[in-house]
Amino acid sequence: MTGVAGVLGAALMCVIHGATIENTLFEDGDGVNTFRAFNPTQAEETYSIVNANRFCLWMSTLEVVGLALNLCANDFVSQKIRAVEDPGIENFYTKNILLKEGIQAWMAAQDQPHEILIFRKEVLPRGNAF
């Protein structure tokens, strides 16, 4: 997620950079007109593109390292292997399958009235499903 935030943050920064740099580079003065309010002789700028760029680069780097070390929380391949090895395990992968099959069972009568569909009993509504 940090990598996504870094990449999207960098893209957003590139998109809005041209529009914001003129408004944030100089501190506003007391002028009535916005364009007269800029003071080009101020000591330091109020916007740092370098710091924003470094933050986005570090977030992207953290995500690449996380992927390289397989620190992904929703690693579907290993969850699928675990689900095959141990049928009793319930993880994100198996819950997605049950959810998909449950929605198919719920909508089967409306979607495919001409077919007789057989679903596992785990996905069928039980008790007061509403």
Alpha carbon 91 to its chain's center: 20
Distance spanning both ends of the chain, measured CA to CA: 34
Q: Whole-prediction pTM value?
A: 0.28
pLDDT tens for 1-54 read 566 666 677 666 666 665 555 555 555 555 554 555 555 666 666 666 677 677
**Nearby residues of 9 by Cβ (< 8 Å), 6 or more positions away:** 52, 55, 56, 59
pLDDT tens for 50-80 read 776 777 777 777 777 776 666 555 555 666 6
The DSSP code sequence of 23-63 is: HHSS-B-S-SSHHHHB-TT-SS-S--HHHHHHHHHHHHHHH
What is the spatial distance between Cα 26 and Cα 28, in angstroms, rounded to a whole number?
A: 6
The fraction of the chain above a pLDDT of 70, given in percent, is 34
What is the spatial distance between Cα 71 and Cα 67, in angstroms, rounded to a whole number?
A: 6
